[in-house]
Structure 1
Amino acid sequence: MWEWSTFPQTVPRNQGEIMTKSRVLRGAIAALAATGLVTGAIMAPAKAATRTTVVIVESNAFTSLNPSQADSNLVINSDIAYLTSMGFNYYNDKFQLVRNTKFGTYKIVSQSPFKVEWHINPGRVWSDGTPITAHDLLINQMTASSAYSKAAGLGDPANTDVTPAFNSLGYTGLYDTQVTNVSITPDRLGVVITYKSVNPDYELIGPSVFPVHTLVALAAGEKKLGTPSHNVALKNKFLTAYTTKDTATLKKYGKIWSESYLMTSVDAKTNPLLLVGNGAYQVDSAVKDQRVTLVLNPRYNSGEPTSGITKIVMNTITDGPAGIQALANGEVDVWAGQATADGKAALSKIAGVTVKGYATLSYEHTDVRMGDGPGEKDNYTGIFAPGTTAASQAKAKDLRTAYFLAFPREEIVEKVWKPIGEASAPWDSLNYPPSSPNYAKIIAANGTAMYREGTQASRTADALALVKKYYPTTSAANPTVKLKILWGQPSNTRRISEAAIIKAGLAKAGFDADLTPTTNWSAFISQNKWDAMFGGYGISAVLQKGLTDTWQSGIGQDMGYSNDKVDAAVLALSGAKLSDEKVYANYLTVEKEVYGDAATMNITMWPGVSAAVNTLQNFKPSPLTPEVLWNFWEWKF
């Protein structure tokens, strides 16, 4: 049976339909998660297992236990982190931010300056029995504060040529721009954070929770779990290094944080210090490219109690229809992927399974390279490289504009997306969804009209004319202007279809596009060897700044884009609460600049499709990442 929820006209923020850069890459997991069992990965059928195990289809392979590391921003990595860690709040399926009072509390303690105290409940422990304390709330200072990173000699995150000691995605975000001071409470169970101003999103600018004693132990070469008393001593070593800004020691911790959690398998040889968490589950094992098995954390007391599920298996299946067949066979309990039309039809025929259709805040898009990727040692010299002269910059912009004019977005939506969700349509705003009252207004003013005017054939003709200004011998019959487009996975049925449409459409404008798929493609977005990319993002939070900081300069700008007006607008949106009119004005500034620079094109917002066996109770996906997992503690058979 099918159950559909509707996309909300507004979400609970002052501007309603606001989204954020707090996103994880969905393109890398956009392989039809309706995918088949990997050879050698056949498991005991879910239907034959005890009813305390849930087996979930994953379309992408696990690569890291630290999704905040710059190359690890994948949904599967974030899903595992969601199951193995707990913090101060989470989103439910109604876009409501829920406080996790089982873990701790937070409250405003001063309006001027604006201060919030974040406090851990006494008795909360890590999975190794170590008390969770204020020490464990300081990691953001190293992974999200450019000011601290520079002051401690850990590197300037704004310098995209040199990777900071903590190779993190957190820099340039709200924590970076808004937090001015962090102090520990006298009982050492909390921190008081001082912000630049009263911030409407302060609940999402709190401390991350990380077992810092494990960083110290790993840096010292320890290979087994320590006693709580030993680990408390390690925490104090961390605090000393933090407060004194001991560069050499902190760099050791940064190397561990940045490199040691990158892994594709977990077994008896894995250092158990890497597996310490405070979530309901712990990673028990991982077989490369096949599955990750999580079991209950017996010391878990940082969140809502689970309801009877003792084991969760994330089963990687990367072949189209086989994932759906595995669900039909009773080999898996949950299918949470991005269906094709055939997949949707197949799901609806499976007896004993509920298929849920819902609007998501994930979206498909294509970006072009505008400059060097952060941390890359070479320079981008492809066809979209702006160069240093007015002539070279005009040429690069003309070619980028031609790329977007010729990009066959409508055909992709009609052939790939509408068969999955009938409401699918091209999306022409960087911030407002089509359901927003502001959508029509902003797309009339943001510079996207050229991508809607006329027909695709007329737009492609305009694109070919632009290309022939610089490459007069190229033609639709003989496209010679080479460009390389990044995408993945190779087994992703839906992306394969998109790639074929894109190649044919760009060829009509004289582009000879290399669309060879790349496994784990998201790890390569910053590399200068590609001229463009297409993929998807999943949104995990709802903030005043929307998605504007996707285009902010700095270490998080994988495509090398930089624009002072955009940066100023993002900064304004990151501060105090603004009126609806001012939010719209800043959104418009960002969109006019980004579209005016010919940097991106959104394709469409994803229709969500997931399925679960009828016997799994409380399965109710959310539009926000992590979608199906958001309430895992309520699951039971």
Structure 2
Amino acid sequence: MRNSRIGASVATVAASALVLSACAAPQSEVVEGSSISVAWNQAFYSYNPDTSFGNATANANIVYMSNSGFNYYNNEPALVRDESFGTYEIVSEDPLTVQYTINDDTQWSDGTEVDAADMLLAWVANSGVLNTPDFDPSEFTDPDTGEFTDEYPTDVVFFDGSIGSGLELVSQTPEIDGKTITLVYDDFFVDWELVFDVGMPAHITAGKALEIEDPAEAKQALIDAVQNNDTEALAAISSFWNSGFNFSEMPEDTDLVVGSGPYTITDFVADQYITLTANENYRGDNLPEIEEITVRFIPDPLAAVQALANGEVDIISPQATADVADALAALDGVTVLGGEEAVYEHVDLTFADSKNGTFDDPLLREAFLKTIPRQQIVDTLIVPLNPEAEVRNSQLFLPGAPGYDETVENNGMQANFGEVDIAGAQALIAEAGVTDPAVCILYASNNPRRVNEFALIQASATEAGFVVEDCGSPEWGGLLGTPGAYDATFFGWQSTSLGVTNSSATFRSDGINNFSKYNNAEVDELLSQLDVTLDPEEQIDIQLQIDKLLMDDFYGLTIFQFPGVTAYSDRVENVNPGPLSPTIFWNVWDWAPTENN
């Protein structure tokens, strides 16, 4: 699912509620010859999950294992600082100034040091500060793949990064010194601790873009380009950063899989599996115990259960269904863990550059939302797994969290779209003065639950007079946000943190997760207020306003919170999934082989 890095907020938790823990103690050495396999429901396709194309959980899982950073969430969930990678601290609160320092022994898997050049690349790529003003990449995006086309201009600077996440507030080029970078924010940003980390290696990115082989020279070329705002060099660097790390099988150029984490990619067969091996150059505390981990791509949940039963995989975390639960209950030598995930299903409508242009008209947006059979979807697909499951009625608030009940009373989602209203939808279509409005719906066509959801939505919308086109695709993730590809979509947002500002990436007009092309100046202003608001009650009040504005614009509907299931064989231990991305992989270094391995 495509939103691994900047997913919607799991709750209205203030940054002050984040818990910092001491870094983990060093683990034992790798058990030579040990290996396990893990099933995941989507294939890897990009090593850069910070781009709009690569922004998917399937990619972020692999990158998490092969790269380290300043912090991560455990399964409580609490924020853990990894001081074996580097440290950071606020050196001034007015203006907010944060200094990050990489440890002396931290290095990339090819032996090159991780340093300030890498952090400078992370800033320029995810702040968008040096991007060419007003450049719109949409006309250079392939509607069939979601990737940039060969016609993409070579003279523009455009880093397709996590703009809207907070780094855009660091508008002045940061000072760097050796392994240190200092970020000075224009305004205090409440979630400052969650928005900056090292991403792609600078020596690989600049080296490939500028055809420089020496790592030190490549790093310096990147530094010079950023500090001098060298448009020609930055255009090449940004182009490579955007697309150079996209691959769907093992690249011939293994420089593209250089990482800083406990594992490194060593094998990759398209649409089948990707293998990671313990990184010999990793110097951090999170030393792995299992030598080799293979992630196998198995979209069908029951097929994943069968693979576990056959011993083909050792860990699965499939989309939960009643059939999956029954099949797992019949297995011996398998531990099954349940729970509710920080993922919610939602239907979004496209406001601009859609396939048919149907939802340019707010009357048709409202009409279509009146046909979504949310209660039927929950009763049919979720209640068999969780008898207490309810329809979710908020874009920003987690059910049960502070503010949720108030927003349900206020935002209009339950009041206006709590039940299917075919007659109301028909009246709105007539008022719009159209007949047979077409709606192309994008979804994961290789996911049984999503196929069932589509069938329920299609039947209901067709009854109201919509012509529903099946635009489902196994490659749905790469198509999100692609101009002309669809009119509506449904999938799950996977939350990545407890940050209160995470919704900016989805609902801000220039946010990386704004696949709907939604644009509301009042929402943008409120999100900007939320960025700098420390008081929890004020944060809730701002989010209540945003939640209502989204419904006033008929942005879309939320449907349900995901029920979760993880199962693992007796060949591995210490599997303890967390609610936030990367869920089962958060403590991959703790996984240990048993005597059965």
Return the TM-score normalized by structure 1: 0.83
- Give matches, 1:513-552, under 5 Å: 513-526=468-481, 527-552=483-508
The Cα offsets for residues 320-379 of structure 1, whole Å up to 9 and x where unpaired, read as 422111101111100012122101111122111111112211111001111137xxxxxx
**In 2 relative to 1, CA 265–464 (structure 1 residues): closer, same or farther, beyond 3 Å?**
same
- How many angstroms does 1:520 deviate by? 1.1
- How many angstroms does 1:166 deviate by? 4.0
- In structure 2, give the amino acid aligned to 1:504: A
- How many angstroms does 1:169 deviate by? 3.5
Counterpart position of 2:319: 338
2:528 pairs, out of 571, 578, 581, with: 571
**In 2 relative to 1, CA 272–585 (structure 1 residues): closer, same or farther, beyond 3 Å?**
same
The Cα offsets for residues 206-233 of structure 1, whole Å up to 9 and x where unpaired, read as 34243211123213447xxx6xxx3223
The Cα offsets for residues 556-585 of structure 1, whole Å up to 9 and x where unpaired, read as 32212100110000101112x432231122
- Asked if 1:305 is matched to 2:287, the reply is yes
CA RMSD of aligned residues (A): 2.4
Please say if residues 13 and 499 of structure 2, whose CA atoms lie closer than 8 Å, have aligned partners that are also in contact.
no
State how far apart, in whole Å, the 1-side matches of 2:511 and 2:96 are: 28
- Asked if 1:238 is matched to 2:214, the reply is no
Tell which deviates more after alignment, 521-530 or 246-255: 521-530
Counterpart position of 2:165: 173
Please say if residues 291 and 314 of structure 1, whose CA atoms lie closer than 8 Å, have aligned partners that are also in contact.
yes
1:599 pairs, out of 538, 555, 558, with: 555
State how far apart, in whole Å, the 2-side matches of 1:103 and 1:523 are: 31
The Cα offsets for residues 406-430 of structure 1, whole Å up to 9 and x where unpaired, read as 1111100110122222332111111
State how far apart, in whole Å, the 1-side matches of 2:161 and 2:382 are: 30
Q: Secondary structure at the match of 1:147?
A: coil
Counterpart position of 1:590: 546
Counterpart position of 1:201: 191
State how far apart, in whole Å, the 1-side matches of 2:92 and 2:139 are: 39
State how far apart, in whole Å, the 2-side matches of 1:430 and 1:582 are: 18
- How many angstroms does 1:505 deviate by? 1.2
- In structure 2, give the amino acid aligned to 1:171: I
2:453 pairs, out of 486, 498, 506, with: 498
- Asked if 1:460 is matched to 2:460, the reply is no
Q: Secondary structure at the match of 1:52?
A: strand
State how far apart, in whole Å, the 2-side matches of 1:545 and 1:113 are: 19
State how far apart, in whole Å, the 2-side matches of 1:109 and 1:551 are: 31
The Cα offsets for residues 501-541 of structure 1, whole Å up to 9 and x where unpaired, read as 11111122111211242121122222224221111111111
- In structure 2, give the amino acid aligned to 1:567: D
1:317 pairs, out of 298, 302, 316, with: 298
Q: Secondary structure at the match of 1:337?
A: coil
Counterpart position of 1:559: 516
Q: Structure 1: which 5+ runs fail to align?
A: 1-7, 18-48, 374-379, 386-395, 475-479
**In 2 relative to 1, CA 560–452 (structure 1 residues): closer, same or farther, beyond 3 Å?**
closer
- How many angstroms does 1:203 deviate by? 1.1
Q: Structure 2: which 5+ runs fail to align?
A: 1-8, 19-30, 141-151
- In structure 1, give the amino acid aligned to 2:325: K
- Asked if 1:382 is matched to 2:360, the reply is no
**In 2 relative to 1, CA 161–574 (structure 1 residues): closer, same or farther, beyond 3 Å?**
farther
State how far apart, in whole Å, the 2-side matches of 1:411 and 1:350 are: 31
State how far apart, in whole Å, the 2-side matches of 1:482 and 1:198 are: 45
Please say if residues 164 and 504 of structure 2, whose CA atoms lie closer than 8 Å, have aligned partners that are also in contact.
no
**In 2 relative to 1, CA 9–590 (structure 1 residues): closer, same or farther, beyond 3 Å?**
closer
Tell which deviates more after alignment, 161-170 or 205-214: 161-170
1:368 pairs, out of 327, 343, 349, with: 349
Tell which deviates more after alignment, 409-418 or 155-164: 155-164
Please say if residues 12 and 95 of structure 1, whose CA atoms lie closer than 8 Å, have aligned partners that are also in contact.
no
Please say if residues 413 and 426 of structure 1, whose CA atoms lie closer than 8 Å, have aligned partners that are also in contact.
yes
Counterpart position of 1:400: 365
State how far apart, in whole Å, the 2-side matches of 1:125 and 1:115 are: 26
The Cα offsets for residues 484-509 of structure 1, whole Å up to 9 and x where unpaired, read as 11111x22111111111111111221
Please say if residues 317 and 584 of structure 2, whose CA atoms lie closer than 8 Å, have aligned partners that are also in contact.
yes
Q: Secondary structure at the match of 2:216?
A: helix
State how far apart, in whole Å, the 1-side matches of 2:299 and 2:127 are: 38
Please say if residues 106 and 113 of structure 2, whose CA atoms lie closer than 8 Å, have aligned partners that are also in contact.
yes
- In structure 2, give the amino acid aligned to 1:182: P
Please say if residues 548 and 590 of structure 1, whose CA atoms lie closer than 8 Å, have aligned partners that are also in contact.
no
- Asked if 1:484 is matched to 2:440, the reply is yes
State how far apart, in whole Å, the 1-side matches of 2:539 and 2:43 are: 38
- Asked if 1:442 is matched to 2:407, the reply is yes
- Give matches, 1:506-517, under 5 Å: 506-517=461-472
- In structure 2, give the amino acid aligned to 1:618: N
Please say if residues 55 and 313 of structure 1, whose CA atoms lie closer than 8 Å, have aligned partners that are also in contact.
yes
State how far apart, in whole Å, the 1-side matches of 2:551 and 2:187 are: 31
State how far apart, in whole Å, the 2-side matches of 1:628 and 1:403 are: 36
State how far apart, in whole Å, the 1-side matches of 2:169 and 2:518 are: 19
Counterpart position of 2:45: 63
State how far apart, in whole Å, the 2-side matches of 1:460 and 1:614 are: 51
- Asked if 1:129 is matched to 2:111, the reply is yes
- In structure 2, give the amino acid aligned to 1:215: T
1:351 pairs, out of 326, 332, 357, with: 332
State how far apart, in whole Å, the 1-side matches of 2:236 and 2:485 are: 31
Please say if residues 9 and 435 of structure 1, whose CA atoms lie closer than 8 Å, have aligned partners that are also in contact.
no
Tell which deviates more after alignment, 622-631 or 129-138: 129-138
- Give matches, 1:603-622, under 5 Å: 603-622=559-578
Please say if residues 144 and 171 of structure 1, whose CA atoms lie closer than 8 Å, have aligned partners that are also in contact.
yes
**In 2 relative to 1, CA 358–11 (structure 1 residues): closer, same or farther, beyond 3 Å?**
farther
- How many angstroms does 1:160 deviate by? 6.2
Tell which deviates more after alignment, 131-140 or 547-556: 547-556
Please say if residues 127 and 166 of structure 2, whose CA atoms lie closer than 8 Å, have aligned partners that are also in contact.
no
Counterpart position of 2:127: 145
- Asked if 1:260 is matched to 2:244, the reply is yes
Please say if residues 181 and 195 of structure 1, whose CA atoms lie closer than 8 Å, have aligned partners that are also in contact.
no
State how far apart, in whole Å, the 2-side matches of 1:509 and 1:11 are: 36
- Give matches, 1:262-301, under 5 Å: 262-266=246-250, 270-301=252-283
- How many angstroms does 1:16 deviate by? 6.8
Please say if residues 548 and 587 of structure 1, whose CA atoms lie closer than 8 Å, have aligned partners that are also in contact.
no
Tell which deviates more after alignment, 404-413 or 208-217: 208-217
- Count of aligned pairs between the two proteins: 557
Counterpart position of 2:101: 119
Tell which deviates more after alignment, 558-567 or 442-451: 442-451
- How many angstroms does 1:161 deviate by? 6.2
State, as a whole percentage, how many aligned pairs show the same letter.
Answer: 29
